């Protein structure tokens, strides 16, 4: 069985991991899976699921207890990300909220900011988003045009952000802005902007190729007054903060890619064992066996590297290049696995009611967000040629 091949993993090997894993399984089966199709139709999950997840202690898992988090290490966050992906759950933007937005505040927020946001984020009563990308600016974050002009005690923010995960539900967002000054016209600053602030508005939810249950939209800022107390760390440090935190974001994408691939392989094994062609199960054909053997082998090889990256992130030692390798290789592998598995479902793989079709379209964005895979190769290449060019 596939699980036997993956049984030598040591990243989740404590009794606490085992208990949390079982609890996550029960929670997903009882509270998330039954509603996911309905959320896909609506294009957004319910706020209730956020609060239920918070009650289970599954939000902000590695946020310190003093700020409302569980206080566990990153391996427990990774376990939740992986489990959701294995079950094919893409609606709730829990990881962005807990592992990216919260992490910025933990590392760079003031004490007031930490108590204001993290305590409620952990409960699911305050939903966070991050707004970096703009309509004319994708992976090149240095080219953003949203501005925050110094007005003394506050900034006046104008601009637009797009592809904002949790955009419709978010109560606040970390927004990347240009804070032009006489000495530096290109300085980027990160601001915590509450959605209820005058001048903030949300666009119509996007109709996406996949991830239909995950709400994604644009955010608009029209003469929004943001107190200077809402700056993360300090003015002009935004680009450095984003570069430092992107490694963790890319690792979370890699972890989800691994879970997605595992879930697809398991579903395909079960399907091919029962689906018959020419009077015998599809699994009886050598082509089927070889295709799934290739998928399982690539999953296990990639899993070893991703587990090592999880261990490094746990110790706050994950390098940008290692995270880029993780994101690039895992997303490429999962895309290939989706293609092979869907093909083995034949015509049924093209039917929306079969989970493999959802996985196929949901997974495709893994090669795009968090920095495209082309950008990942540039980062890796810069590292390997360091000192030579």
46-74 pLDDT, tens digit per residue, is 999 999 999 999 999 999 999 999 999 99
Which helix (H) or strand (E) is 177 found in, with range?
strand 172-178
Residue bearing tokens 């029960």? 26
In this structure, whether the domain defined by 2-126 belongs to CATH 3.40.50.300 is answered with no
CATH class of 240-384: mainly alpha
CATH of 129-236, one of 2.40.128.20, 1.10.390.10, 3.40.50.11540, 2.40.110.10: 2.40.110.10
Segments making up each domain of the chain, as ranges = 2-126, 129-236, 240-384
Active site residue 266: no
pLDDT score for 141: 77
Nearest C-alpha neighbor of 28 from the set 68, 75, 88, 70: 88
pLDDT score for 389: 77
E-strand stretches of 90-165: 128-131, 147-150, 154-165
pLDDT score for 237: 94
Nearest C-alpha neighbor of 314 from the set 110, 15, 8, 17: 17
Please list the residues that pair with 181 across neighbouring strands.
184
| Dihedral-angle region of residue 244 (phi above 0 means left; psi in -120 to 50 means alpha; beta otherwise) | alpha
User: Is 70 in contact with 63 (CB distance < 8 Å)?
Assistant: yes
In which residue ranges of the chain is pLDDT below 50?
none
Q: How far apart are CA 103 and CA 98, in angstroms?
A: 7
pLDDT score for 185: 60
230-244 pLDDT, tens digit per residue, is 999 999 999 999 999
Query: Pick the catalytic residue: 40, 235, 249, 340?
Result: 249
pLDDT score for 182: 60
């Amino acid at each position: 069985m596939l699980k036997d091949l993956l049984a030598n993993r040591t990243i989740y090997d404590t009794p606490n991991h085992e208990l949390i894993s079982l609890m996550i399984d029960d929670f997903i089966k009882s509270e998330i899976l039954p509603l996911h199709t309905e959320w896909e139709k609506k294009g957004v999950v319910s706020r209730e699921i956020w609060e239920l997840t918070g009650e289970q202690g599954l939000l902000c898992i590695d946020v310190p207890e003093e700020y409302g988090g569980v206080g566990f290490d990153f391996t427990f966050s990774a376990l939740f990300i992986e489990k959701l992906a294995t079950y094919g759950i893409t609606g709730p933007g829990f990881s962005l909220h807990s592992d990216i937005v919260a992490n910025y505040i933990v590392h760079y927020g003031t004490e007031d900011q930490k108590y204001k946001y993290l305590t409620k984020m952990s409960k699911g009563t305050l939903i966070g988003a991050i707004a970096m990308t703009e309509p004319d600016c994708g992976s090149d974050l240095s080219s953003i045009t949203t501005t925050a002009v110094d007005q003394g005690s506050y900034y006046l923010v104008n601009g637009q952000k797009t592809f904002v995960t949790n955009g419709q539900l978010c109560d606040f967002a970390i927004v990347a802005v240009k804070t032009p000054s006489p000495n530096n016209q290109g300085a980027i600053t990160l601001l915590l902007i509450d959605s209820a602030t005058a001048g903030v508005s949300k666009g119509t939810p996007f109709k996406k190729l996949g991830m239909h249950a995950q709400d994604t939209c644009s955010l608009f800022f029209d003469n929004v007054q943001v107190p200077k107390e809402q700056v993360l760390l300090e003015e002009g440090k935004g680009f450095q903060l984003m570069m430092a935190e992107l490694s963790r974001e890319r690792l979370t994408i890699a972890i989800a890619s691994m879970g997605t691939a595992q879930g697809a392989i398991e579903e395909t094994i079960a399907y091919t064992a029962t689906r018959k062609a020419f009077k015998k199960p599809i699994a009886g054909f050598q082509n089927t066996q070889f295709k799934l053997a290739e998928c399982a082998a690539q999953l296990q090889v990639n899993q070893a590297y991703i587990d090592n990256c999880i261990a490094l992130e746990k110790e706050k030692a994950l390098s940008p290049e290692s995270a880029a390798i993780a994101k690039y290789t895992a997303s490429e592998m999962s895309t290939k696995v989706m293609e092979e598995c869907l093909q083995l479902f034949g015509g049924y793989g093209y039917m929306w009611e079969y989970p493999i079709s959802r996985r196929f379209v949901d997974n495709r964005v893994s090669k795009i967000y968090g920095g495209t895979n082309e950008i990942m190769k540039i980062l890796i290449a810069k590292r390997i040629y360091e000192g030579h060019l």
